[in-house]
Amino acid sequence: MTNVLSVDGLTKNFGRLCAVNNLSLEIGAGHVFGMLGPNGSGKTTTLGMLMGVINPTAGSFRWFGETPTQELRKKIGAVLEHPIFYPYLSGQKNLELNATIKECSADNIARVLEIVELTARKDDPYKTYSLGMKQRLAIASALLNDPTVLILDEPTNGLDPMGIAEIRELIKKIAAGGKTIILASHLLDEVQKVCTHFAVLKKGNLVHTGPVGSAGFGAETVEVGANNSALYDLLVAFPGATHVTRENGICYVTLQEHLRSADVNRYLFEKGISVDHLLTRKKSLEQVFLEILSVKN
Amino acid sequence: MLHLLKIEFRKMYSYRTFWIVCGLYFITIGFSTATGMEFLKWLATLVGNFGSELDINRIPLYHFPDVWLNLVWWSGFFKVLLGIMVVISITNEYTYRTIRQNVIDGLSRWEFLLSKILMNVVLSAASVVLIFLIAAVTGFIYTPEINWKYVFTDLEFYPVYFLELFSFLSYALMLGILVQRSGLTIILLLLSYMLEAIVKANVDDFVPWLIPFFPMESISALVPIPFYRYAFQPIQDYVDPLSVAIAIGWAGLFNYFSYLKLTRSDL
């Protein structure tokens, strides 16, 4: 089966600045692919090249195994950087225009406006919208032709917590429908919550790519609590622990890579301690991300 | 093609500036060409012996075939208004960055440019049709004796008028794409004739044969000044194939430059 997107050696130089350096990626169907990186790491430049607005200096990419054309772009819903619409047109008219450009039916407009909850404001000029409404209109526009691939660049930028949660739910819902989603963000939490795969860019270089779930997340931290004063000393003596700290009666144990919380539990039980609090803390993407960035420094 | 034009119309349909500028333009060329004779009559009542020294009804401004060329030449002055509209329309796409979104949404860069060029065609054609109708109607009103041979004389100035407008609008479009800022582009557009005149004045002494090849010069040379004929001087009452060729060449080049700039730059 062909990948939705294959990128091969994509490079973009702006004068002496290398914004994207020899980037190669594969994105499979149904992935929710997170593109991570600090500001200015080349995320938007990459997406701009994939969407035909930035001419690559070198390299190539294929959508659905085909050489990119504007006809293929019509099948992709994309919002890059910030929402872009004609300020003097209403939300409805903007979407009608986009439907004409994408050569898709205008019947979808009511449905996508409903999804992003803008139906009540659809006839007001775009320039009167709040930032959150603009963002949501952009997502509505990206969903307009029922695309198989959705590209979202910082979709929750400038939204309030409720709006962020809504967009997240929306992304999950869309992903559940089998669509491929490429999500660029510097909000790691966001990527961790919705993505299946991710890539990390740094100064235009790809420094990591892989699934979000398991691999690459290394050691676990386990929270252990027990009504026993010897707990801390026993844990320090545990050969599988690399680091132990104590806070408010709870011990935080960082394990060696191959060990799991069950191993801690078994060890303590053998020593005659039954724990009343045991919690596995997977490393957050944020920690992984910072690690990846600092290692390659 | 129709699809692209539809896109452009959707952009303009709710844009008030477009309707105001185009409205002003069409009203201005419409009224000023249609009421020339009435204006002269009013002038005659104002200036005591204007009418007696010069019988205005004997100035064949609106007689066939003079009316065709006269109205075309006169309305050609107002094309700069249309040019400003074209500049606003293209620089807006850069200011709002909608050109970027258009391409993301699935237009090719060439299709984007083509939609603008087609709009230029429509605006030029609308002007031609309007002036043609006004000239026909006023011609039939004011010509004392209709001679069908004269009615159909000088009609070749209408395709040439179209070329004059289209070349100028292509120039405005190119300027907008190159400069991308509306204010600066409009100033450059307005100064184009003057800047070219300065260059021409300097070039004139060395290579006078080059003069007809200047872009603004070639556009204005398409429709010659008709009024000398009322002072009994000879005028060029035919279309000069060389100036047509030069103007077509420039129109092609302007649009080609726009195409180059659009396809090579990052949006």
pLDDT band for position A222 (cuts 50, 70, 90): confident
Mean pLDDT within A161-181: 82
- Considering the domain architecture, whether residues A94 and A138 belong to the same structural domain is answered as yes
Residue A75 and residue A118 in one domain: yes
Q: Which residues fall within 8 angstroms of residue B65, CB to CB, at 6 or more apart? A: B150, B151, B152, B153, B154
Q: Are both A89 and A226 inside the same structural domain?
A: no
* pLDDT of the residue at A215: 44
Q: Is B79 at the interface with chain A, CB within 8 A?
A: no
Count of structural domains, chain A? 2
pLDDT over threshold 80, residue A232 = yes
Q: What is the C-alpha end-to-end distance of chain B, expressed in Å? A: 23
- Closest chain B residue to the Cα of A48, Cα to Cα: B104
Q: Is A206 found in the same domain as A267?
A: no
Judge if A24 and A139 occupy the same domain: yes
Residue A286 is assigned to a structural domain of this protein: no
Contact A198, A191 (CB under 8 A): yes
Which H or E run contains A125?
none
**Alpha-helical runs (H) found in A43-130:** 43-50, 70-73, 91-102, 108-115
Distance CA A89, CA A100 (A): 15
What's the pLDDT at A213?
Answer: 67
Is the domain of A10 the same as that of A98? yes
Q: Are residues A176 and A239 in the same domain?
A: no
Q: In chain A, which among 77-116 make CB contacts under 8 A with chain B?
A: 78, 80, 84-90, 93, 96-98, 100-103
Three-state SS at A137: helix
Q: A287 in a domain, yes or no?
A: no
Rounded Cα distance, A235 and A251, in Å: 8
CATH number of the domain at A135, please.
3.40.50.300
Domain boundaries, position A236: 221-281
Q: Which of A166, A183, A211 is the last residue of a domain?
A: A211
pLDDT at B171: 96
Is residue A119 domain-shared with residue A176, that is, in the same domain?
Answer: yes
The pLDDT of residue B63 is 86
Give CA angle at A248 (A242, A253), nearest 5°.
15
The string of pLDDT tens digits covering residues B134-172 is: 999 999 998 888 888 888 888 899 999 999 999 999 999
Q: Rounding to the nearest 10 degrees, give the CA dihedral for residues A164, A167, A169, A170.
A: 180
Q: What is the ipTM of this complex?
A: 0.86
Q: Which residues of B touch A53 (CB under 8 A)?
A: 100, 103-104, 266-267
Do residues A29 and A166 both lie within one domain?
Answer: yes
Classified as helix, coil or strand, A220 is coil
Whether A297 is in a domain gets the answer no
In a domain, A292, yes or no: no
Q: Does A99 share its domain with A63? A: yes
pLDDT in tens, A248-271: 878 888 877 777 788 888 888 888
pLDDT of residue A61: 92
Q: Which chain A residue has its CA at the smallest distance from B11's CA?
A: A97
| Chain B environment of A19 (Cβ under 8 Å) | none
Domain assignment of residue A293, yes or no? no
Looking at the whole model, is its pTM more than 0.90?
no
- Where chain B has pLDDT below 70, the residues are 48-56
A250 located within any domain: yes
Which helix (H) or strand (E) is A107 found in, with range? none
pLDDT digits (tens, 9 = 90+) for A75-119: 899 988 888 999 999 999 999 999 999 998 888 899 989 888 889
Residue A7 has pLDDT above 60, yes or no: yes
User: A87–B96: do the CB atoms touch at under 8 Å?
Assistant: yes
Helices (H), chain B: 2-13, 16-34, 36-46, 50-53, 66-75, 79-95, 98-104, 109-142, 148-151, 157-179, 182-203, 215-221, 241-264
Same domain, A192 and A245: no
CA distance B267 to A48: 9
Task: Please report the pLDDT score of residue A214 as a whole number.
Answer: 53
CATH of the domain at A268: 3.30.70.980
Neighbours of B38 (CB within 10 A): 9
The closest alpha carbon to B134, from B36, B235, B238, belongs to: B36
pLDDT band at A277 (very low <50, low <70, confident <90, very high): confident
* B95 at A interface, C-beta within 8 A: no
